[in-house]
Chains A and B, each alone.
Chain A
């Protein structure tokens, strides 16, 4: 099923324009939505999840008009917000059983089977009887995935789920997401470029409430081939380099020098060598172009 967003706009009462005339089409599979903090990703996610209301525009998922048939969408929606709120004294098994009831699974035996299945997918079977409120951040996020799987959703929205997770939990979480992203439309919002690189077959970069780039990761990397250059400079030369070259990123190395990555269609002056493009280069280049565009 396809999610279609047309001319969506949302301005908060404090004057912040969170979404600015945004249009986007998302098909089945893993879709990565990249953007810096404050880009409008969460507002877009919450609007699609029927939690917020746009000022104008339309959103449809298959035949469902999301803005007018909210309950219809919620029947096939799985949403995991940035932080997953849980009730203070409920075990994972009890909470999932209760949520399954609310999601329309009437039979007790069906619920039991479903809950066991979801706990197994998210590797939480061993801690099923512990209070969810006592789980670690990563376990809570996996529990969040377990609860969204209960109604076998066709549209799954996960909003910055790996922020704050340690590497092991992040890897475990991404493996779970990868497993469920084959048959549904999964929108994965993040500011961690590596998450998109590892998971997504389609992606967009969002900034200042607008979609700056919508592309297939492999295609966009191909378009950057031969245009990314790498070199090492002294930190005091950075300012001058930034004025003369399109600097995408600079990171200190162990010799306290700066590893510089730049975008250039032709070979730049200085000691630079061609580098393999990665999604981070695409991300920084897109944001930089946007910053140079007047609002």
Chain B
């Protein structure tokens, strides 16, 4: 793969979609923090709210998803479809990681400012949140490079929201996985398998896709 082309495509994503990325990230951050701090189970709601980060990606790249002409324009450049998918994997991964870090920083700052509780600095929860973001990303690629925008949204958003709601009330996100080494390792392996599977099947299908 041509790394300079990939770098340029990643750069394109942040340059062309700079405003939607910033505004949606801020919106999701404010929304997540608002619902976190009006609840009593602060940490549980916060950790499940991390699932909303994927909505930034959904919102930002929906323009491209709905207007095939922009995809066409990239596909005519001297890049392979594999490089196009890989570049998008990189840029979306950066968005997921950056927003997760931002959420943790703001959450802890708010805890410090308004609550008497100790600052929550669990590395387990942070790693878990990142892995959770990557799992969602894997599903996003699996769905969005194959199906139309509307079908993708239904297939993607509903299960994500359902799972987020369920996990916030069960304590699965906060108490079970992040504190369990075996659980974390299994989740890491699962995430990697999902990402690899999603990447290769997406490349395979996108290579054959008529634009």
Q: In the complex, what residues of A have CB within 8 A of residue B71's CB? A: 85
A-B contact pairs, 21 of them (CB 8 A): A12-B210, A51-B76, A53-B210, A71-B80, A74-B76, A79-B72, A81-B73, A83-B69, A85-B72, A86-B70, A87-B17, A87-B70, A88-B16, A88-B19, A89-B18, A89-B19, A90-B16, A98-B8, A102-B5, A102-B12, A102-B77
Assess the A87–B69 pair: CB atoms within 8 A.
no
Please report whether the interface of chain A is mostly helix, strand, loop or mixed according to DSSP: loop
Q: Which of B18, B76, B80: most chain A CB closer than 10 A?
A: B76
A49 touches B (CB below 8 Å): yes
Given contacts A71-B80, A87-B17, A88-B63, contact A46 B69 (CB under 8 A): no
Interface residues in A96-140 by Cβ distance below 8 A to B read 98-99, 101-104
**Within the assembled complex, what's the spacing in Å between the Cα atoms of A71 and B79?**
6
Assess the B8–A51 pair: CB atoms within 8 A.
no
Interface residues in B62-90 by Cβ distance below 8 A to A read 63, 67-73, 75-80
**Within the assembled complex, what's the spacing in Å between the Cα atoms of A138 and B195?**
43
Please tell me the number of chain A residues within 8 Å of chain B, measured between CB atoms. 30
A77 touches B (CB below 8 Å): yes
Interface residues in B189-211 by Cβ distance below 8 A to A read 208, 210-211
Interface residues in B29-75 by Cβ distance below 8 A to A read 63, 67-73, 75
Please tell me the number of chain B residues within 8 Å of chain A, measured between CB atoms. 28
Q: In the complex, what residues of B have CB within 8 A of residue A70's CB? A: 80
Assess the B67–A85 pair: CB atoms within 8 A.
yes
Q: In the complex, what residues of B have CB within 8 A of residue A99's CB? A: 77
**Within the assembled complex, what's the spacing in Å between the Cα atoms of A81 and B71?**
11
Residues in A lying within 8 Å of B, measured CB to CB:
12, 46, 49-53, 70-71, 74-75, 77, 79, 81, 83-90, 94, 98-99, 101-104, 151
Q: In the complex, what residues of A have CB within 8 A of residue B210's CB? A: 12, 46, 51-53
Contact of B78 among A52, A75, A87 (CB under 8 A): A75
**Within the assembled complex, what's the spacing in Å between the Cα atoms of A98 and B9?**
10
Please report whether the interface of chain B is mostly helix, strand, loop or mixed according to DSSP: helix
**Within the assembled complex, what's the spacing in Å between the Cα atoms of A79 and B78?**
12
**Within the assembled complex, what's the spacing in Å between the Cα atoms of A69 and B17?**
31
Q: In the complex, what residues of B have CB within 8 A of residue A51's CB? A: 72, 75-76, 210-211
Assess the B68–A85 pair: CB atoms within 8 A.
yes
Assess the A84–B18 pair: CB atoms within 8 A.
no
Assess the A98–B208 pair: CB atoms within 8 A.
no
**Within the assembled complex, what's the spacing in Å between the Cα atoms of A46 and B209?**
12
Pairs A-B, 4 closest by C-beta atoms: A85-B69, A87-B16, A85-B70, A52-B210
Assess the B78–A104 pair: CB atoms within 8 A.
yes
Q: In the complex, what residues of B have CB within 8 A of residue A74's CB? A: 76-79
Interface residues in B128-158 by Cβ distance below 8 A to A read none
Q: In the complex, what residues of B have CB within 8 A of residue A90's CB? A: 15-16
